[in-house]
Every structure is written in C-alpha cells, then in structure tokens.
Structure 1
Amino acid sequence: MQFKHPEILYFLFLLVIPILVHLFQLRRFKKEYFTNVKLLKELQTQTRKSSKIKKWLLLATRLLVLACLIFAFAQPFFKAKDTTNKGNELIILLDNSFSMQAKGAKGELLKRSIQELLEELPENQQFSLLTNSEVFWDTDIKSIQKEIQNLSYSAMPFQLDYLINQVETKKKNTKKDYVIITDAIQSNSKKAETLAENNVVYFIQPKAINKNNVSIDNVIISQVLDQFYELKITLKAFGTIKNEIPLSVFNEEKAIAKTIAKFENATAEITITIPKQDFHGKISIEDNSLSYDNDFYMSISKPKKGNVLVIGSSDKNNFLSRIYTSDEFNFTSSDLSTLDYNKIESQEAIVLNELEDLPIALGTTLKSFYEKGGNVIFIPNAKNPTTTLNTFAKNFGGFQYSNWTATEKQITKINFSHPLYQTVFEKKVTNFQYPKTKEGFGLTGLTNILQFEDNTIFVGSTTNRLGTFYAYSAPINKQNSNFQNAPLIVPTFYNMGQNKGKTGINAYTIGENENLILETILAKEEVISVAKEGYSFIPMQQILNAKCKLSFGDYPEQAGNFDVNKGTEILKKISFNYPRTESNLQQESATTFEKFTKVNNIATVLNDIASERTSNEIWKGFIIATLLFLLIELLIQKFIK
C-alpha cells in the first residue's frame, strides 16, 4: 500500500490524546465503605467492572476513528499493475469498406460498430479515430457524434499499413493503445507483426451471418447489330446461391429489359439486347447480401466514324480499305513520301504497312500520337534491319525484334481473353483454318494476341492505358502469308482501328486512376468538370493541342453516371463503378491480426485498460470505516452501562 500524502501520517501522534484522557479517567482512588451502604457493595463491584469495559471499548473506537480519518486524508492506494502504458494515447482504426455492409446479429457491421462507440466511450475520453476515408485527431465522442453517425461506406479497402503510417507520422515518439475494428476481409499488413511490440493493440472482428453474395463483375458489348447492342453481363457468386437473381437494365431511370440469373457454378453469363442508341444508365440485380456491387453503371455513345490513316504503298493498302469501310470509318491511304504529318493528330488509328524506311521524325510524331490515346499498328517490311526496327520500337516500350528467319510457321493460338477479341468469339475455337507465314522476325516483350505453333508471337500489343501499340512479327502481304485470306483478319484490324474513348462502353473503376482523352480546345483558365446530381469534381487535366487528357485519380468518391462538362456544354457521358475487391465475404485474413489481443467489443477494451492501469484507491474505505466506528461509539454509549 502506498500514500499520495504520506506526510499526513505524522498526525497519528494524535492518538496519544485519547489514551491520556482514558488513563486519567482510570485513576485509582482509595475506597471507604460506610455501614449504611454496605448492603450495596456487591452491586457496586459489578457496576465498576462494566464501566471499565465500556471505557476500554470507547478508547478503542475513538482510536480507530482518529486513525481511519488520518489514513483517509493520507489517501492510500495500491499501485496499478501496468504503469508503463498509463499515458498511452487511444487510437481507433475503423474499417468502413463495403464489406462492412454485411449484416451481423445486430444489423450492418459498420453501423453496429459505430453505435457501440457512441454508447461505450465516455464523453471525457480523448482519442483519435481513423477510417478508410476520414480522420479525426484528438477528439471526443461528443464532438464527432454527427460525423460518425453519417459516415458512409468507402470504395477504398481497409489498408492497415496506410493507417498506421498516418498515425506514426502524426504521433511521433508516443506510446499508443490501438483498437482495430475490421471484418478482416482482404486485409493484409506488413506492419502488423511489429505493431504490438511497442504498443498495446486490441482487435475487434465484427462477424457477418450471411457470407453468400452476388456481384455484377463486368459488362461488355458482345456484338453490334444493325439496330441493337448485344450485351454480355458477367455475374459472380460467392458462396452457395440457390435462388434465382432478378436482373434489370435501366436507361436513365427507365427500365428497358428484365431477366433472371441462375447459378450452376461460381459464374453466370447473361446476354441481353438493348436498342442501338445513346445509353446512360445501369444494370441492377437484387440479392440479400452486399448492396454496393449490385449496380453496374455504364454509358454507351452513339457510334462515330473513326479516322484511320494507313501509311504504305497503295497496292499493299487495298485489303485494309475493304475492312475500314466508309460507313464506319474515315479511311485515308498515304505513301510515306507524300504524308501530311499534320493529319496524324486527328486520327484514331494509324497503320504502318510494310514501310521500307522508318524516319526518326515519324517515330517521334507517332510516339506523341500514342501518348495522347491513339492506336498504332505496325507491320514490318522484310527489308527493315533489326536495328532500325528496335530504334523505332523504343518509342513504344521495351519490346524487341530479333533476326529474320526463313522458317514457315502456322498461326495456331488465339488469346481469347485479350481486349481485342472480347467481342469476337462466343466460345473458344480450336478447329479454325490455320493461317501461316513463310518468313519473319522474332518478336518479344509484348502481350501476345496471336501466336505461332512454337509459342512465339505473331501479333502482340502494349498499352499506356490511353493508346495501344500493335506489332506484327512478319509481313502479311500475299507473297509471305495467307493471313489476308483468313477470316480472323477482319475482326483483328477492325478492333485495332477502334478508339475505346469513342466506341464501346464508357465505364471506369474508381481508384484505378484511369484516363480519358477528349477532343476539345480549352480557353485560358477554362476547366472541365465531371458531375452528376448533387455531386461534382474537377479531374486533373492536361492540354494536348486540340485534345485534353483527364486523369481521375481516386475520384469520384461515389459510383454513378456522370456528365463531362465544359461550362454548360456536355462533352461526354461516362460512368464510374466501385471496385469489386470486397465482394467475397469468405476471404478473411484474420491471421494478420493473430498477435493482437482479440476482444468482443469496445467496452471490454475500456474495462481492461481501466483495471490494468488505474490505481486502486482505498481512502473511501477509510472514510466509511470512520463513520462505522463513530456509529459503534454511539451504540456503546447508549447500550453499555
């Protein structure tokens, strides 16, 4: 036992006073008995004995009263078990990712966790609260009550290391009590192992009751018909899905198609048709689990003619003019000697068809065109030296050509998952008529699209996320190859000539820092904004002559259909979707937190901290004892004669 004010104990010397008083009252006197009271002698003896006992009891109670009172003022206490962490700051890391939409025994996991914080944290408790999207430093629960009650779900996953870095930057050289509240879905951490070495860490894992979930994974245009788009919708099931899932298609707010999805395995694909017109809406499903991945927002603009420029001799360019027809493309053919470089900027795709010479100026111009979102298709000439080819290739990435070989090869493998062929094949084809080449270069460092029988690349690609560069490893003139006669040539070149910014589905994923190229001229200090009803943001923008490059970064914070505006003019309609990283509720990473102290709720954390670090003050007990002994003294005075 220790004392806050040990100097008060000197007053224990005051205990001498009642002892002296008591001794004075017990002085012996010589007794003389007279004959007239002799009959009372026996009764006097008994009374005298009783009076001595009473005085001794009164002395004891008065000594105890005074001693207890002195001890109370000295404030005795027992030392806390944990004194080293007594000054720790309380840091709460709360997961508000979409997986916390799942329902537990008492409702949605996030809302229930917030309610516990509101109910259990004392109003005078200072703490810092960090979520995936919000930060509250050195606050109390009353100050942020409204903010956390209105806390929305975040498209950002729960990144423990990122939150720890924030805390360590803000709170340097301080010991901390961490309370981590997360369902541990997709939670990985490199700092978790060392976090508990210098801090006290508690882990609360809200549990979902239903871990089955269905999400809309992707939507593509599988076929373009005369009057309709054929959409292929891919749904993913996590867990066991026994019921049919209703699916609806909305253009603006109007329902234009409905169907149901049945799951025989983890993936279901549904094909529907919609009118071939501007589309600015969503595809929705209904399931009983997470709601954030039930909507897929998308925009389709009416097809515009694409500008395609082919550079090469006119006799070799004839087969391309039959692919890039006038109803869908503005096709231009030019010889290198008569090429107007000023026209390159306005094209969507440029084909270099077996040029004998590759001027440095052409490579530099095409590099700029590629960086601004254009597509470049390169077909080598047999007379090109490999050094010239590789010098040209450096403008577009780290791929390389190797020596020319006179070996006949068959083109036998198709990369069906490549974006170039996503809308071409309904299923994988293995029995098509194999095209072949007689001679060609070696080609490495590209994503394969078409491969020879020896697994070397015939056609490959690379992308900067704006434009795409396609390269052939061999000339495809009729003397060297029969590829021009193969059915595969039409969808290959047709899709290479398409600009994804002008055709197809405009649907971006939040957080992937995607880009958009717009053909527009901005005046000085004029900016482009992206907006929907009740929400807008200004993306990063870079002027590229007659074009503007928009970079979205981590914006927007909300999924939906948006207008791209220049002042009051709507330049384009686009859509954004949340990433589907939280859809699988069965991918727990609880092992990340196994070194932490696991508790069920925040009340347990507070009780544990209080019991371990709070001194056990017992001065109140001495006050109660003082009152008790005073009461005993009164009883002695009243009932003992």
Structure 2
Amino acid sequence: MQFKHPEILYFLFLLAIPILVHLFQLRRFRKEYFTNVRFLKELSMQTRKSSKIKKWLLLCVRLLLLACLIIAFAQPFFKAKGDDNKGNEMVILLDNSFSMQAKGSKGELLKRAVQDLLENTPENQQFSLITNTNTWWDTDIKSIRKELQNLNYSDVPFRPDFLLTKAQAKKPNTGKDIVMITDAVNLDFKDVSKFTGSPLYAVLPETENTNNISIDSVYISQAMDNFYEVKVDMRAYGKFEDEVPVALYNGKNLTAKTIVKFDNDKKSAAFTIPKKDFHGYVSVNDNSLAYDNTYYFSISKPEKSNVIAIGETAKNSFLARIYTDDDFNFTASELSGLDYNSLEKQDAIIVNELKEIPQSLITTLKDFYAKGGNIIIIPSGEGSLQNLNALLGSFGGSVYKPLTQNARQITKISFNHPLYQTVFEKKTDNFQYPNVKSGFTLSGNALPVLTYDDQTPFLASMSNRLGNVYVFSAPINKVNSNFQNSPLIVPTFYNMAQNNGKTGISAITIGENQSLLLDAALSKDEVLTVRNAYADFIPMQQVLNNKVKLSFGDYPEMAGNYSITKGNEVLKNISFNHARTESNLSLQNKSVLKGFTETESVGTVYSDIKSERTASELWKWFVVGTLISLLLELLIQKFVK
C-alpha cells in the first residue's frame, strides 16, 4: 500500500492522547457509608467492573476512529498493475492492404476498423497511427477523422516489424502501447521478440467468406490476320458451385461476355477481338475482394518491327521467309556493306554466323542492348572462340567452350519461357526435335530456352528488363543442323524479333519497377506524363537518342487505364494493375501474434489499459471505517452500562 500524502501519517502520534487520558484519568471514587454493608459492597464491585470494560471499548473505538481519519487524509492506494507503463505513447498499426476489402459481419474489414477507431478512441487521447502507406505522428482522432474516412487500400504488404521499427526510431526512449489492427492474411512478423517488453494488443477482424476469384493475367494467345485471341487466366480460392460471368470491356463499352465453371482452381476464358487499338479491361464478379476482379490492359495497333540480319546472303535467306512484309521491315546485309547508322533504328539485330566480329560492332551491339534492343547471336563454326566470348562478355556472364564435333539432339523446350508462352496450348513430348552435328558448349547464367539431351543449352536468353539477347550454341545452317526444317524455327525467330512496345499487351504491375521503352524525341525541357481522368504523374525518364526509357516504380497508386502523353499528344496507351499478393484469404497467419493480447475492438483496448493503470483508491474505505467507529462509540455510550 502506498500514500499520496504520506506526511499526514505523522499525525498518528495523536493516538497517544486518548491513551494518556485513559491511563492518567484524575477522577476517583468517593467512599460512602451505608448501614447495610453487605449489599452495597456487591453493588460497588459490579459497577466498577462494567465501567472499566466500557472505557477500554471506548478507547479502542476512538483510537480506531482517529487512525482511520488520519489515514484517509493520507489517501492510501495500491499501485496499479500497469503503473510502469503510464508514460507510454500509443502506437496504432492499421492494415490497409487489399485483403482488408473482405466482408465481415458488419461490412468491409477496413471500413469497420476505421469506424471502430472513430467511435471508441477518446477525443483527448494522443496516439500515432501508421498504415501500410501513411503515418500520422502524435495526433488525435479529431485531427485525422477525414483522412481515416478517405483511407484507400494499398498493394503494399503489411509488415508490422518494419512499421514498429520506424516508430521506435521516431521516439527511441519512450515506452509504447502497441495496437495492431489486421486480418493477419500473409502476415509476417519476424522481429516480434524486440517488442515483447511493450504492451501488445491485436484486433483481428474476421471475414465471413474466404472464397475469392482472382484474374491473374491477360495475354494474346493467337494472332490472326484481322483478329486477336485474348486469353484470361483466373484462379479460384475456395469452392464455387455456380458458373461465374466474365466480361470484356473496351473503354466503357461491353465487348464480349462469357461464363466460367470453376471445376478446378485454375481456369481460362478466351475472347476474340479485332486487331486494332484496345484500351479496356476484363472483369469478374465473385462477391469477395474487388481489387483482383478487374484486369486492365491495352493493345496498340501492331506496328512493323525493324529487323536486320548481318551475315552472308546465302545464310540469311531463310530469315527472309520468316520476317515477311506483313509484320516486319526486314533487311539483310553482309558485314562489309553494313550501315552502322541504321542499327539504332532497328528493333532486332541478328548476328548470323560471322567468322569475325569487329570490335566496333561489339561496341554498337552493347549500346543497342542497353537501350532496349533485341540481339540474336548465331555462332560460326569457323569463328574464333576468343572473338565470340568477347561479344558474349558485353551482355553477361555466359561463355562459349571449344567447338566439339559430336552430334547432339535437342530434347527439351522451356514452355514457360516468354518465347513459347503463347505458342503451345499444352506441353507435349511427342515432338520432332531437331539436332546438330557440331557446336559449342554454352555455360554461364543465361536462361535455357531449348536444351540438348546432355542438359546443356542449344538456345539461351539474357535480359536487362528492356532488351533481350538470344544466344545459339551451334551454327544452324542446313549443313550443320536440321533446325531450319523444324516446326520451332518460325515461332522462335518470330518472337525473338518482336518489340513488346510495338506489339502485344501493355499491362504493367505496380510496384515491380518495370520499365518501358518508347519511341519519342524530346527537347531539353520536355517530359512525358502518364495520366487518365482521375490522376496523373511524371515517371522517371531517360532519353536514349530517339527513344525514352520510362520507369514507373510504385506509381500510379491506383490501377487503371492510362495514356502516355507529350503535351496534349497521346503517344501510347498503357495499363497498370496491382500485384495479386492478397488474393488468398485462407492464408491467415495468427501464429505470429502469440505474444499479443487479442481483443474484439479498440474500445476494449482502451478499457483494459485504463483499468490496468488506475490505482486502487483506499481512502474511501478508511472514511467508511471512521463513520463506523463513530457509530460504534455512540452505541457503546448508549447501551454499555
């Protein structure tokens, strides 16, 4: 027990006064003489005995009364359980990731959590609120009411250890009451032990339905003369008994609609659209998370890609049959007549079995690759190994090992490689695989595309996220290989020469730091802007001669269809989508919150903290004791004789 005013306890010395009065009382009994002594003596003895008991009782009661009164003024109390944390600052971590779009018994989890904060946080309570994307330091609920009501969902993962480290750095010497509001989907809390000394509370809103459908990707599965076949890949989390409608929109206009039955967790829907500009989205309705129900994408009217093959005329002849005038501007040139100035205007350069590659060409190719061009290298069996490796060294860590004359067969296709993603409807082993009579052995960090039976690459690729380098390990002329007669020859070379900026679907995932190369000439003070009807931003941009490299980082904040503009001129349509990292609502990870006290609402947290840090006041009981003592004294005076 402790006292607010312990100095008042010195008045307990006053208890000596009634004791002294009792012990040194001056009143004495006088002798009275009566004739009948026998009866009077007995009466005197009884009177003295009862009077003595009464005085002792009165002394005890008065001592108790005075002691209770003095102690009451000293205001005794028991120290609160959480008294050591009274100086703590309140830190609230609010998860606003997309999984909080799920619906609970009272609506969307995030909106309900915000309402809980607004209703149950005392107006005079100071706290810091940290979300996945925003921070409010040392504020109160009235100051941020509007911001909370307008809080948007974020594709940034909820990482409480990172957020708490930020709060710790803000006030390193201040204790903290930590309140975490999250659905715990994909929750990762690696350094929880660092904060076990702080009071930890967790409010875990529950979703009523963990079933969800996500649109994961959209791509062109087949390009016909006048139409594209567009495929939509979807994933179902949980069971869906009914058929689900899938709709395709160009702008705001409904283009096509179909239904999908999810008899397994992965399904695809196909749409056929005209081969022209498309700027729209595909959507599905699953009555669950909304952010992954829409996938925005753009298709630009196809432009011809510029391709040049450098090599002997006879060896370039098969390429002219692949790169036709319908889709390509193809040029074949021998090394002696090569116009170096024309190379920067190309989308793809094919180095076709050159016996000697000059250093000037190697330097030009290196610069071309850095600016987003595609390079295809076919080695010559008569070429210098040192010369070939000098060329490969410009693009990465791959090298050729000496030429061998043993025959090898190509036995493996990397079906998931971007070259073949839209070529095969399904994986097949029953395939007429080509072979080579002699070739180099390719080693290093290049990604295999086609592989020999000895598990070494026949064709491999490297990328800098803008351009690609495709490297063959053997000459593919008809004398050395039957690859030119293989069904693989056309899709392989066709796709290697394609410029993604001119053909294909434009759909960038926000936050993956993807880049885009755009044909545009900018003056010194000009910049490109990305905008739509609701937002605009200026991406990071680097001018590369007649091209501009755009990097988007974590922008835009909202998924949707946008346009890249130069002033008022629209240069290209582009689309952005959020990563589908929050789609699986069954990945709730409460186990990392073992050290937390789980509560139903923020109101319960404040109530618990108040009760733990409120001292037990005892002075009221001592006042009651004083009143009881006073009452006892009156009763003793009246009834004890």
* Structure 2 counterpart of 1:240, one-letter code: K
Instruction: Please give the residue correspondences for 1:248-263 in structure 2 after superposition, counting only pairs within 5 Å.
Output: 248-263=247-262
* Shift in CA distance, 388/595, structure 1 to aligned 2, threshold 3 Å: farther
Residue aligning to 1:77: 77
Residue 432 of structure 1: how far off its partner (Å): 2.6
Cα distance, 1:144–1:624 mapped onto 2, change above 3 Å:
farther
Q: For residues 115 and 620 of structure 1, do their structure 2 counterparts lie closer, same or farther at Cα, with a shift above 3 Å needed?
A: farther
**Distance change (3 Å), C-alpha of 1:283 and 1:335:** same
Distance 1:518 1:26 in 2: 115
Whole-Å Cα distance in 1 between the matches of residues 635 and 130 of structure 2? 61
Partner of 2:301: 302
Matched with 1:421 is 420
Amino acid at match of 1:479: V
Q: What is the alpha-carbon distance in structure 2 between the residues aligned to residue 622 and residue 525 of structure 1? A: 82
- 1:44 matched to which residue of 2? none
Corresponding residue number in structure 2 for 1:37: none
Matched residue SS, 1:421: coil
Q: CA deviation at 1:27?
A: 5.3
Once residues 49 and 122 of structure 1 are traced to their aligned partners in structure 2, the CA distance between those partners, rounded to angstroms, is 65
**What is the identity, as a one-letter code, of the residue corresponding to 1:251?**
N
Q: Report what 1:350 is aligned to.
A: 349
TM-superposition CA deviations, 1:365-404 (whole Å, max 9, x none): 2122112111111111112232222221121111221111
d(CA) in 2 for partners of 1:471 and 1:117?
Answer: 59
Aligned residue number for residue 151 of structure 2: 151
Instruction: Report matched runs for 1:190-205 at 5 Å.
Output: 190-192=190-192, 194-205=193-204
How has the CA–CA distance of structure 1 residues 489 and 141 changed in structure 2, closer, same or farther, with 3 Å as cutoff? same
Cα distance between partner residues in 2 of 1:636 and 1:501: 104
> Would you say the 8 A contact 2:356–2:384 is kept in 1?
no
Q: Which residue of 2 aligns with 1:38?
A: none
Is the 1:345–1:369 Cα contact (8 Å) retained in structure 2?
Answer: yes
| Cα distance in 2 between the residues matched to 1:75 and 1:360 | 93
Moved more, 604-613 or 435-444: 604-613
Equivalent residue for 2:220? 221
Query: Which range is displaced more, 461-470 or 202-211?
Result: 202-211
SS at match of 1:326: coil
Deviation at 1:637, TM superposition (A): 11
Please name the residue that 1:174 is paired with: 174
Q: Which residue of 1 aligns with 2:431?
A: 432
The alpha-carbon deviation at position 407 of structure 1 amounts to: 1.4
1:326-337 matches, cutoff 5 A: 326-337=325-336
8 A Cα contact 1:305 1:329, kept in partner: yes
Task: Give the alignment of 1:350-389 within 5 angstroms.
Answer: 350-389=349-388
1:575 aligns with 2:547: no
Residue 281, structure 1, aligned to residue 264, structure 2 = no
Contact 2:460–2:470 (Cα < 8 Å) also in 1 = yes
CA shift, 1:330, in A, is 1.2
- Find the aligned partners of 2:424 and 2:518 in 1 and give their Cα distance: 30
Shift of 1:348: 0.9
1:10–1:161 Cα change, 3 Å: closer
Amino acid at match of 1:506: S
Q: Is the 8 A contact 1:196 1:595 kept in 2?
A: no
**2:247 aligned counterpart, secondary structure:** strand
Task: Name the Cα RMSD after superposition.
Answer: 3.2
Q: 1:71 to 1:493 in 2, by over 3 A?
A: same
Contact 1:195–1:201 (8 Å) recurs in 2: no
Task: State how many pairs are aligned.
Answer: 633
Structure 1 range deviating more: 84-93 or 207-216: 84-93
The answer to whether the 8 A contact 2:405-2:438 is kept is yes
- Cα distance in 2 for residues equivalent to 1:231 and 1:545: 34
CA distance in 1, matches of 2:427, 2:13: 101
Q: Provide Cα deviations, 1:289-319, integer angstroms capped at 9, x if missing partner.
A: 1111000000111001111111112221111
Structure 1 SS opposite 2:194: helix
Q: Residues 263-298 of structure 1: CA distance to partner in whole angstroms, max 9, x if unpaired?
A: 111101111111222111110000021111000000
Conserved 8 A contact 2:109-2:205: yes
Measured in 2, the distance between the counterparts of 1:294 and 1:449 equals: 33
Give runs of aligned pairs for residues 558-569 of structure 1, distance below 5 A.
558-569=558-569
My pick for the range that moved more, 13-22 or 163-172, is: 13-22
- TM-superposed CA distance for 1:483, in Å, is 1.2
- Structure 1 CA distance, aligned partners of 2:346 and 2:640? 116
Give the match for residue 41 of structure 1. none
Q: 1:596 Cα shift? A: 3.5
Matched-pair contact (CA < 8 Å) for 2:440–2:474:
yes
Partner of 2:93: helix, strand, or coil?
A: strand
2:269 maps to a residue whose letter is: I
Alpha-carbon distance in structure 2 between the residues aligned to 1:24 and 1:256: 112
SS in 2 for 1:178: strand
What is the correspondence of 1:225-244 to structure 2 with a 5 Å cutoff? Answer: 225-244=224-243
Long gaps (5+) in structure 1: 34-47
Summarize the Cα distance change of 1:300–1:637 in structure 2 as closer, same or farther, 3 Å threshold.
farther
Q: Which moved more, 1:304-313 or 1:200-209?
A: 200-209
Output the amino acid matched with 1:450. L
- Aligned-pair distance for 1:21? 9.2
* Structure 1 letter corresponding to 2:164: I
2:390 matched residue in structure 1: 391
- 1:323 maps to amino acid: I
Map Cα deviations across residues 322-368 of structure 1 (whole Å, 9 max, x no partner). Answer: 11111211112222222222222211111111111122222222122
Q: Distance in 2 between matches of 1:573 and 1:638?
A: 102
Instruction: Name 1:36's counterpart in structure 2.
Output: none
Structure 1: how far apart are the matches of 2:372 and 2:571? 17
Distance 1:11 1:548, change over 3 A: same
Please give the alpha-carbon distance, in whole angstroms, between the structure 2 residues aligned to 1:104 and 1:632.
61
Q: Decide which moves more: 374-383 or 75-84.
A: 75-84
Give the match's secondary structure for 2:529. strand
**1:573-611 CA distances to partner (integer Å, 9 max, x unpaired)?**
100011001101112233322344444433443344334
**Structure 2, gaps ≥5 residues long:** 34-47
The worse-fitting range, judged by mean Cα deviation, of 353-362 and 57-66 is 57-66
CA 1:28/1:250 → structure 2, altered by over 3 Å: closer, same or farther?
Answer: farther
The alpha carbon displacement at 1:112 in A equals 2.1
**1:405 corresponds to which letter in structure 2?**
T
**Distance (whole Å) between structure 2 residues aligned to residue 627 and residue 242 of structure 1:** 74
- Matched AA of 1:7: E
The one-letter amino acid of 1:594's match is: K
Mapped contact 1:90–1:177 kept (Cα < 8 A)? yes
* Matched AA of 1:347: Q
Query: Cα distance, 1:443 vs. partner?
Result: 1.1
Q: Would the aligned equivalents of 2:234 and 2:268 in 1 still touch at CA under 8 Å? A: yes
How far apart, in 2, do the equivalents of 1:4 and 1:421 lie? 80
**Distance (whole Å) between structure 1 residues aligned to residue 632 and residue 370 of structure 2:** 95
Kept in 1, the 8 Å contact 2:355–2:384? The answer is: no
- Corresponding residue for 1:455? 455
Residues in 2 aligned to 1:354 and 1:330: alpha-carbon distance in whole angstroms: 21
Choose 464-473 or 68-77, whichever is displaced more. 68-77
Task: Letter of the 2:290 partner, please give it.
Answer: S
> What's the TM-score, normalizing by structure 1?
0.90
Please say if residues 213 and 289 of structure 1, whose CA atoms lie closer than 8 Å, have aligned partners that are also in contact: yes
What residue number does 1:481 align with? 481
Shift in CA distance, 405/212, structure 1 to aligned 2, threshold 3 Å: same
70 and 232 in structure 1: CA distance in 2 versus 1, 3 angstrom threshold: same
Conserved 8 A contact 2:212-2:286: yes
Is the counterpart of residue 407 in structure 1 residue 406 in structure 2? yes
Q: What SS class does the counterpart of residue 419 from structure 2 fall into? A: helix
Pair 1:627–1:388, CA change in 2 (3 A): farther
Q: Deviations over 1:558-579 (max 9, x none)?
A: 1000111222111111000110
2:196·2:595 contact (CA, 8 Å) conserved in 1?
Answer: no
Q: 1:49 to 1:141 in 2, by over 3 A?
A: farther
Deviations 1:128-167 (A, max 9, x none): 2211111111222232222222211111111233213312
| C-alpha contact (below 8 Å) 1:196/1:596 kept by paired residues | no
**Against the structure 1 CA distance between its residues 248 and 50, is the aligned structure 2 distance closer, same or farther, given a 3 Å change threshold?**
farther
